[in-house]
Amino acid sequence: MLVDFGTKDTLGYFPAFGIIDQGSIVFENGGIFSQEQPCQTLYIPEILLNRTSCCTYLIPPSPSMPSTPCKKFKSISSVRNVNENFKISASSQAVFSYTNTNLYANLSYTQQNNGGVDLAVNAGSLDYQAFNSTTTNATFYGNNFWGHGDYEYLLRMTFYNMTTETATPSFFVGRIIFQGNQTFMEEGIPFTSKNNCYCSNEQLSSNQVVSTSLCCTEFKN
């Protein structure tokens, strides 16, 4: 669990950029601080940005049983209207795959009215993609963002309605943690053949609830 970290920034200011998740701070591009890699660097030459953050106090995560890494994931999200007997007003399915540097998403959705879906990775601090009738695929991050070591993707979605110019609050879909050649849904809880799904429910408003699942659909050989 991370408690404190410091930042050096070539632009001349010292913000503590990071994402708080499960009681820890994750670097803004998803890099996980560890004893082996206490510092994380974000390099974007197009805007002359070279930012390094270092963990100054680290409690290592609890060890977990070895497991086979997941190769492909699928998420399902459904928004329901309470005042319509929990009728589904919007839903999406997304398939995720990855390489050492990129996350790939293929997303489809249904909605009562004209609209689409925003998918944000790591709170949208660096990347998000709007999916609609003409956009169904997206690539998140590139070689400039990922170094070596462990990292995680935090996935959030928003359904928006172009007709009424409204949107649901952003909701949590799930996380994919790459740590020690394993894939985790939570700290210390890996995706396995017997426990391959992370599921959650969230109240978006007084009239809307959302249910989500993020499942491993294919493990590496």
**Residue 146 — very low, low, confident or very high, per pLDDT cuts 50/70/90?**
very low
Write down the pLDDT at residue 142. Answer: 46
Write down the pLDDT at residue 14. Answer: 40
Instruction: Judge whether 216 and 72 are in contact, CB under 8 Å.
Output: yes
Instruction: Judge whether 162 and 115 are in contact, CB under 8 Å.
Output: yes
Please tell me which residue, 29 or 153, carries the higher pLDDT value: 153
> How far apart are alpha carbons 9 and 52 in whole angstroms?
7
Residue 27's contacts (CB-CB under 8 Å, 6 or more residues apart) are: 17, 18, 19, 33, 40, 42, 53
Write down the pLDDT at residue 215. Answer: 98
Q: What percent of the chain has pLDDT over 70?
A: 81
- Given a cut of 80, whether residue 204 has pLDDT beyond it is yes
Least confident of 7-21, 63-77, 149-163, 194-208: 7-21
Residue 188's contacts (CB-CB under 8 Å, 6 or more residues apart) are: 61, 62, 63, 64
Task: Summarize pLDDT for 89-137 with one digit per residue, the tens.
Answer: 899 999 999 887 788 999 988 876 678 898 988 765 556 688 877 678 8
The per-residue pLDDT of the chain, averaged, comes to 81
Write down the pLDDT at residue 75. Answer: 97
Write down the pLDDT at residue 144. Answer: 40
- Given a cut of 90, whether residue 196 has pLDDT beyond it is yes
Write down the pLDDT at residue 206. Answer: 93
Least confident of 50-54, 125-129, 150-154: 125-129
> How far apart are alpha carbons 163 and 126 in whole angstroms?
28
